[in-house]
Structure 1
Amino acid sequence: MENHKNTPFNSPNGDKENEELNHVWNLAESAYSETEISTEQVEEALQNVHSRIDDSGPDYSSNQTSSQERYWLYARYLVAAAALITFGLYFLFTPIHISVPYGEMATIELPDGSSVELNSGSELTYSRFFGRADRDLTLNGEGYFSVEPANAPFRVKSNGTVTEVLGTQFNIRSWRDDPNSETVLTVTDGKVDFFAERSEHHKVTLTAGKLSRWNLEMEIPIVEEPLNITDRIGWKENRLIFKEQSLIVILHELERRFDTRISLEVPGAGLDTLTAYYAEPKSVAAVLEDISTVKGFRFAETANGYRIFK
């Protein structure tokens, strides 16, 4: 479908000026739509308008200046001011989004003094007003949070769940590509409330050393005590620890950790479970060799990564 832009300006100073004014106007309109606008587009458009204002305005010392020319000078100022305000608001209300590349980890210092360590492939989103209006974040992936005490509760939304605290330390594992759609919360210090977004009144409260799980089939998260809480946060020390994990979950973890692609070409094998511990995994090939030996598979390197087959 053809996209018709608004052209509200028809300056007497020529087509070039009309084009610049209308371009800035349309960019300002786009800021309130879902259209993506680059910083370069904004700067170029505003620079052109500023140039017009500075260099080509009418000379008021001349008696030849018409009221129409003065009108268009004012219009140029108004367009530039409106565009600056619009893009300023657009910037303020666009959330901060952090995405950790595969094969890397990151530590994020939040505006309220809290911090979060993010595992490979994780995504974190929060408002530019974080710590002032609220302390709400959204997580897809795995993160270890160290929360500074404050009056406002600290909330992490992750794939249908909410973790709410005032000041504590905890780990959340919640991947959108998890076949079980499972969120696992492990508390290492303090006290945490955990619940599904769809049933906030069914909260569970966890203290240090407790673990809770939730998936889409549950109304209320279940609570248990982890056998070894340090294993739950071993990823922070670059360890790989799998306890009765399905093979598809393990392969996704290896893809993120080693920034590669792994194709499982054994029908039905994705739900097979495996337990493994690597203090310092040397390479993805070494791990795949162990998996293949235990499961009776073979694996080979491809142009894009690896394939596992019978």
Structure 2
Amino acid sequence: MAEKYDDTFLARWLANELSEKELKDFEASEDYEYYTQIIGTLEFAEFPQHDIAENLNATLYKIEQQKTTPKKARKLYPYWMSGVAAAVIVVFSYLFFFQNIKYTTQQAEHLSFFLPDSSEVVLNAYSKITYSRFNWKNNRKVVLNGEAYFKVKKGQTFQVETEQGTVTVLGTQFIVNNRDNYYNVICYEGKVQVTVSNKTPVILTKGKGYTIKNGTHESYSISDSTPSWIANESSFNNVPILEVINELERQFHITIEGKDNLKPAYFSGRFSHDNVENALKTIFVSMNIPFSFENNKVTIKK
């Protein structure tokens, strides 16, 4: 008597999560070619973005309603649904597992979420992360534009890809900041490897940071146990003043004009996200930069 499986069988097949025996038996069945043909067709199809679970439930309901006479169900290995309904499951499982997931934040916004393996990510303001849930167990990779804090569960290699470099870990806590002309990685726990084009990979352990600013590569040490912006405060260690000004803009709903009037300089210090006027004074007054502030617009004077 054939072994029966639950209704996650096709979804697990698409995600490469079948056991060796399940896969071998399925490939030897008469239904294997039928479903590989469906997947082959889907490779070239384009689908609108909808609520997958809702559409699946609605489609299966319609199938049940349209059954006017008893029919001999097509035997799908492993015998859990008719051919038509199973094909629907394949389609929606394909859409679900092959979808790229995207998280974004706007100015003055942080966002916390979990990846499929329960690794935690916190996005800083004005940032974006994308990843594919398909085969996540064996391909833990996200693409980052902006800044994010990661608490990675131990498992297969985990990668954070950016335009400026790749961070590779097994299980640890760290941040990656990838902005225009600025790249920064800090390890808070465990160990990470930073790979940048044409450079020897850099290994960071707890309390170590690595940055690229204005084309200069630099390693340094920190004393913080978590990113300051998690606690609504931005801190800087010898960071170009333009990046500090851009961070002010990201953390508050303000526009800053006159950036071309800035002279080359570096800033070390921090500002709180609680009060915009205090934050402006912390940066501009301490750096002797003349400015005006009115109607949520900052103007940097010559």
Task: Place the TM-score, normalised by the shorter chain, in its bin.
Answer: 0.5 to 0.7
Change (3 A) 1:223 1:291: closer
Kindly state the Cα deviation for residue 273 of structure 1 after the two structures are TM-superposed.
3.3
Aligned to 1:203: 201
Q: Which digits, 9 at most, give the CA deviation of each residue in 1:251-286, with x for residues without a partner?
A: 22122212x2323225331644333323x4432233
Consecutive unaligned residues in structure 2, runs of 5 or more? 1-40, 70-82
Aligned to 1:186: 186
Contact 2:113 2:121 in 1 (8 A): yes
Change (3 A) 1:224 1:43: closer
Aligned to 1:166: 170
Change (3 A) 1:139 1:161: same
For 1:265, the aligned partner's letter is G
- Residue 252, structure 1, aligned to residue 246, structure 2: yes
Consecutive unaligned residues in structure 1, runs of 5 or more? 1-28, 61-77
Kindly state the Cα deviation for residue 110 of structure 1 after the two structures are TM-superposed.
2.2
Alignment RMSD (CA, Å)? 3.8
Tell me the secondary structure at the aligned position of residue 109 of structure 2.
Answer: coil
Aligned to 1:308: 299
Contact 2:251 2:273 in 1 (8 A): no
Tell me the secondary structure at the aligned position of residue 244 of structure 1.
Answer: strand
Change (3 A) 1:168 1:79: closer
**Which residue, 262, 284, 302 being the options, matches 2:255?**
262
The CA distance in 1 between the partners of 2:235 and 2:176, in whole Å, is 15
For 1:307, the aligned partner's letter is V
**What are the within-5 Å matches in structure 2 for residues 63-142 of structure 1?**
85-129=90-134, 131-142=136-147
What TM-score do the two structures reach when normalised by structure 1? 0.64
Aligned to 2:219: 224
Change (3 A) 1:207 1:296: closer
For 1:264, the aligned partner's letter is E
What TM-score do the two structures reach when normalised by structure 2? 0.66
Change (3 A) 1:43 1:273: same
Tell me the secondary structure at the aligned position of residue 188 of structure 1.
Answer: strand
Kindly state the Cα deviation for residue 229 of structure 1 after the two structures are TM-superposed.
3.2
Contact 2:157 2:170 in 1 (8 A): yes
The CA distance in 1 between the partners of 2:99 and 2:177, in whole Å, is 26
The CA distance in 1 between the partners of 2:279 and 2:51, in whole Å, is 45
**What are the within-5 Å matches in structure 2 for residues 3-14 of structure 1?**
none
Kindly state the Cα deviation for residue 167 of structure 1 after the two structures are TM-superposed.
1.7
Contact 1:31 1:87 in 2 (8 A): no
**Which residue, 271, 275, 278 being the options, matches 1:283?**
275
Contact 2:122 2:149 in 1 (8 A): yes
Kindly state the Cα deviation for residue 97 of structure 1 after the two structures are TM-superposed.
0.9
Q: Which digits, 9 at most, give the CA deviation of each residue in 1:143-169, with x for residues without a partner?
A: 22222222x111111223111111222
Change (3 A) 1:216 1:232: farther
Larger Rg: 1
